Chain A
Amino acid sequence: MTEDNKKRSKELSRREFLKDAGLLVGGTAIGSTVLLAACGEAETITETATVTSTAPGGTTTVTSTSTVTDTKTLTDTTTAIANNFVCPFCGQELDTLSDLKEHVESEHEGELPKVFPASTGYIVVDSTSCIGCQTCMLACSMVHEGANSLALSRIQVIKNTLERFPNDIEIAQCRQCVNPLCVQACPIGACHVDTENGNVRVIDEEKCLGDICGLCSKACPFMPYRVKLNPTKNVSMKCDLCLNTPYWGEEGGPSGKQACVEACPQMAIKFTEETPSQQGTAGYNYKFEVAAEQQDSGEGGH
């Protein structure tokens, strides 16, 4: 498989994931316009050769070949696509996702829990206090994955700086729903309620099928959906209240700390043990009241 083909299949599979989730609106597949006229560069500082082409419509499309890290992950993914519909309970291989789902439902009825006790912890936010720095997203990705990334974050800060207040920023966090549709949608119990850790809704990365499934994202009733694909590991990821944070010195989880709460300079993200109202969004929002001594003392500006 050439580098380009690998890359293309990665991107296509990612798009399949979106299509499955019914969210892809349009557009043509990336990579389809890449031609293969290699032109080596002799110049000393240019060490990576490139693939250059002129595509219809007069645009030039180029794909750099230096995607080594990504390609490795991708090789694992593409290998997996062929035969990964394996029943985690009996090992039987199934042809499709729906076959697997039917198989588990009929053959292993008792294996998947039917009762989902409420989480003992929730994240609530004050989007109007948010300054849009997105540090919560970076904290989230770092403590879970060891990297700073927006794509690896399980909390979203949606931002449009050309908009007016308060429509410019919105924090979209996982609600740890009392009725967890993502958990119920998972055909194999990878997305589950962790009854040993405060009933937080988590995903078992070892079990998760990744981009060939995506039913958890599809099941999430909120927009943007709060369970998303981890593009590096090719597994779904969601907020676990920092239960599993290998890159963090702090104790996380429903009985510990949460990185987004700790990192937010505005105290716009709060942890609560109280179950918020499940109706609408009001229960998951709160208004941060600034104590007099915490108000702006002129740190900004010069």
Chain B
Amino acid sequence: MANGGYTGKILRVDLTTQEISTIDTSKYEQWGGGNGIGAALFWDLIPDRTLVDGFDPRNIVIMMTSPLSGTMVPYCSARTEVMGLAPQGYPVNWFTRSNFGGRFSPQLKYAGWDGIVVEGESAEPVWLKIENDNVTIESAADLWGLDTWETQETIWRKTTDYTRYGEWLDVGGVPSTNLPAIVVIGPAGENLSSIASLIHEKGSSAGQGGFGGVFGKKKLKAISVIGDGSVKIADPETLWNVRQHIRTEVNWPVKASTPAGRSSSCFACPNACRFVKADNVGNDAMCIESLYATDKVSYGSNDALKIGDLMQKYGVNAADLFWTFMYIHAQMYSGGEYLNSLYDQGILGSGKEIECYPLPGEVEKWGSLEWYDSLVRAISYRQGIGDDLADGVFRAAEKWGRLEEDLANGNLRYPQWGYSFHHTLPTAEWIYGSVFGDRDINEHTYFGMFNEPLASIDAETLVEMTSQKTVPFTGDPLMFNYQWQGADGSNMDLALEEGIYSSHFAKFVAYHRRHTRFFRQSLGYCDFSRLPRYLIATASAGDNWGFSDNAEVEMFNAVTGNDWTTEDCMKVGQRIWNLERALWVLEGRHRDAEVPSEFMFKPPLSTGINCNKILPVKNRDGAWIADANLDGMFLDKDGFEAFKDHYYALEGWDIATGWPTRANLEELGLKDAADALEAADRLGNPS
């Protein structure tokens, strides 16, 4: 048992009975934190694992911290992992995870809790007030209907006794200069949208999965938390030293403020990837919600940022709406690319096959800020076309009878499980991870380990060096070979033998799944961080490239007092991935369904998101190159099936079904899962 990091208890709230109890964390520490503990909790708390409806009262929402939450571990301390059956998932609401930054997770730890499990459904709107050990279920009658920002300000007024800001606030006896951290849903969640997000502060949100809708179904408007406790650090001096070492290695750039605003950060993060502006527009916007653009709203303009603000206030998944807008009208990506939208095809509009009410009929208004505003409100309140789109554009397309056609022609860019296209290709590990999982994986950093260094290091040296670090799959540089069949198919033999369909690339996918499951989603190392730094070489670093190959592990051990190796951590990642695999199989997963949408097998209509990726490729002549011309990559059906053989075999799963086997699960200490699969007649056969 760890002697630092964990608070020792998880809060359990049943909204049906209003009963509040605790779960001892110690039994779950073996899973690390976050997603690992959450998956194990879900397994233990939901006896009927065939449940696949996110809106079922028996569904639960788990919000987990990590042992590193609330500590000064950089890039890591802020994330809160959210789990449960996710209504966005298609064709069933798979067990899914999402997460958000800010400072909710640290406050939860200071209040003495490692996580929260919300069960049941309340009859009336409620919010949950947590002040250290004092947990109360409060009426949200006066909050229901407010937007996400108004809700937080109202709760702050209620919980701080109207104390003037800047004084020591008295929050239920807790003197604090910090306001309570609040996670909240907006009107979209209240109206049971499958693409409703959880919003914390201005723009920290858990969007994917639609957990805002699950909160709405449970009539849970908000959770507010503040505490005056501490996170014990087992070895403060080591934590300090490793953290300062990272600071020196990365040479954190100072982000100067200007009269227009400042860069801002999540808790304990030096990255400051967001902005707080003097005009209060687009504050804390990050990534997709700041990328809206049309012919009327230019990229990066204040109007574009105001579109993002709409998503935050109404509580809608900005990533899903981005592709919704592309599908129904000409939402541009920042590169100025368009998809062939339903509006442009004359299918959707005033008086058209798909009626656009309550959107304005006048064409000249489409794509303006006002148009976005009416669309986001229509979705949030389920008015007209918004009623269809509130279930996600994927389900809307299904309802409109367009799903098959538009997934084939690529107008509807949803490669898997009702989740949109992203960096899905040419980073092939992204599509594999998403198809073998539950959602778009949303794991960015791993192509950074090629993109950045390839500017200064030759491809062969890079893959040789990187493959020495990827425990437990070391010593095989071909695992990073992005060789594909080519537009004319002439390199199919290479792709199958040593490229993206090969057993070599399967090692990278397995490494990637395990690494992200443990370090990112269970410990909380943010996906926008530059960790694992050891994978990102720079020429100037010479022989000493990157920093310590286990800085993340060293900090985990310094906080918890554990003595885990990198291999131990990767093993837990594998364990989490397999427990979730067992859940998905019980929820109906089979090899036959693990196929990307049809458009992924055709030359892309446009490149979508590519970020000018540069990836290593081994050519027919045996030479490694830094290939910047992979944007046209598409998949081959036989190749994809061949890859499944390799990957399932590597994971120890049944090649015919993709189901885990008893041997593979028991080797991971998951006998329970093996028994459950056997009872459901879904245990894989040994190869």
Contact = CB atoms under 8 A, between A and B. Distances in A.
Contacts of B172: 27, 30
B345 to A, nearest CB: 32
Contacts of B137: 59-60
Given A63-B133, A149-B229, A299 B271 contact: yes
Interface stretch (A191-199, A201-209, A226-234, A274-282): A226-234
B162 interface: yes
A155 B129 CA distance: 27
Contacts of B230: 141, 145, 147-149, 151-152, 232
Contacts of A160: 165, 179
Contact of A146 (B179, B232, B280): B232
Nearest to B135: A62
Nearest to B201: A161
B270 interface: yes
Contacts of B163: 25
Interface string A84-125: 000000000000000000000000000000000000000000
Contact of B175 (A14, A142, A294): A14
Contacts of B276: 132, 161, 163-165, 168-169
Contact of A301 (B71, B179, B243, B287): B287
A1 interface: no
Contacts of B168: 18, 23, 224-225, 228
A41 to B, nearest CB: 6
A266 B44 contact: no
Contacts of A26: 161-162
Highest count of chain B CB atoms <10 Å: which of A23, A46, A141, A161: A161
A64 B254 contact: no
B340 interface: no
Interface in A30-56: 30-31, 39, 41, 45-48, 50, 52, 54-55
Highest count of chain B CB atoms <10 Å: which of A132, A152, A262, A294: A132
Given A223-B166, A295-B254, A146 B233 contact: yes
Contacts of A143: 236, 240
Contacts of B280: 163-164
B528 interface: yes
Contacts of A266: 254-255, 272
A166 B184 CA distance: 25
A155 to B, nearest CB: 10
Given A50-B20, A133-B272, A147 B231 contact: yes
A219 interface: no
Contacts of A59: 136-139
Interface in B466-506: none
Contacts of B134: 30-31, 61-63
Contact of B239 (A14, A63, A142, A225): A142
A297 interface: yes
A5 B81 CA distance: 35
Contacts of B252: 265, 299
Contacts of B266: 133
B149 interface: yes
Contacts of A267: 254
B91 interface: no
A150 interface: yes
B262 A129 contact: yes
Interface stretch (B22-30, B211-219, B366-374, B591-599): B22-30
Contacts of B179: 159-160
A225 B284 CA distance: 29
Contacts of A133: 265-270, 272
Contacts of A138: 71-72, 77, 268
A302 B445 contact: yes
B110 A151 contact: yes
Contacts of B102: 161
Given A14-B173, A135-B270, A166-B278, A149 B18 contact: no
Contacts of A263: 72, 243-244
B667 interface: no
B646 interface: no
A267 B276 CA distance: 18
B20 A161 contact: no
Nearest to B174: A151
B102 to A, nearest CB: 8
Given A63-B134, A262-B244, A162 B152 contact: yes
Contacts of A248: 236-237, 240
Nearest to A62: B20
A295 B231 CA distance: 33
A23 B176 CA distance: 12
A128 interface: yes
A172 interface: yes
Given A45-B27, A162-B152, 10 more contacts: A45-B45, A60-B137, A131-B264, A151-B176, A160-B179, A165-B277, A169-B262, A225-B168, A265-B270, A302-B528
10 contacts: A129-B254, A130-B262, A132-B276, A138-B268, A147-B232, A148-B72, A165-B262, A168-B262, A249-B240, A302-B527
Interface of A: 7, 11, 14-15, 18, 23-27, 29-31, 39, 41, 45-48, 50, 52, 54-55, 58-64, 66-67, 70, 128-135, 138-139, 141-143, 145-152, 156-166, 168-170, 172, 223-225, 228-229, 231-232, 247-249, 259, 262-263, 265-267, 288, 290, 294-297, 299-302
Interface of B: 8-9, 12, 18-24, 27, 44-45, 70-72, 74, 77, 102-103, 106, 110, 112, 131, 133-139, 149, 152-153, 161-163, 165-168, 170, 172-179, 201-202, 227-233, 236-237, 239-241, 243-244, 247, 250, 252-257, 260-273, 276-280, 283-284, 287, 444-445, 448, 527-528, 530, 611
